[in-house]
Structure 1
Amino acid sequence: MSLLNSPTMVAAVTAASTLVASALTGWITLRAQRRQLGQQAALAAEERAEQLKESRREERKAAYSEFITQAVRTADSSLAMCRADAGDPAVFERVRAEARAHLAELWPMLALVNILGPEDIAALADRVPHALQREMRAAERHPGGPLSAISDHSDARQQAQRAFASAVRALMEGVSTPPPAQV
């Protein structure tokens, strides 16, 4: 009997081929698992990035909303100075103090809008409180006076608010924002 036909040799070849097949299967499985883990990690990173983007979007939306709401509240207080009884200085001073307090509350909100950006939105937001200040100064000069006395300033403030709101709307809808309008 030859060595090649012996049962020992057949068993050894069978065992060796089983080990090689097992090692090859293990290696292929390991590669497939690594590839799958890499894909899962990439998907998880993509999902985290999307969640972060959505979180930032919601944070911006809240800041923009609070800012424009406070700007409207401040404008209403400013207009109230024109409606206040000019003959009663105490009433006018109360309305004036309220308007100034509303404007003071707007500045930290503006700072947050500037931090959250983007730059074009921040530039438009910067114009709103300055327009409100001009409107408020005009209203202070005309206590109890006609609204027409401050209409130019009110128009400029409304234009600043509309430009900001339009740019925010475009950003939230995913449209590129227009360049800042001159106010």
Structure 2
Amino acid sequence: MHDITHRNRAESPSSKTLFKATAIALVVGAGLLVTTVLPAEYGIDPTGVGGYLGLTQLNAIAPQETAEPVEDPMISDAQLASLLNPVWKSSAPLRNDTLTITLGPNEGAEIKAQMQEGDRFMFKWEAQGPVNFDMHGERPNAGDEFTSYWTGRNKTNANGAFQAPFEGVHGWYWHNGGAQPVTVTVTTTGFYEKLYKL
């Protein structure tokens, strides 16, 4: 670090030099304002340089139309409820089920819920060791055809919510690729006909 108390005043810029530098900065700034900023931002091009550089086209883009302002910006709770339709109705009973399966080494098994289109449940499952899984659904009389929703490898848990996209059975297949048995416990809460092991 330098001690500026003993600095030579001859090394400092003079007032004339500072004034000259300030004047040059003002001229350059004014030049940029007239040749670039005004044409690009406001479409004002007094020198023609903005048009030559294509800057006036930046201002030519029409602003997007905005929606008409609403006379009453407040929406009533009743209007909001009718728009959002917050109530979901079901003919299926509310159920809470917990099932457990044990998978031997290199063994797989399934747990399914019998559901109508639109039925819903929340779920969580936990395994005592890593398993591969496939959450999927099958339509009635579909044979070997199924629709896969979510797959995972080497997982010990998962949770979420599910809505049946069609009538049929929906659930999980787990596979234990390890050398030790693994127990999987599934808990569901929602609207469906039954939860069962395959």
TM-score normalised by structure 1 residue count: 0.18
TM-score normalised by structure 2 residue count: 0.17
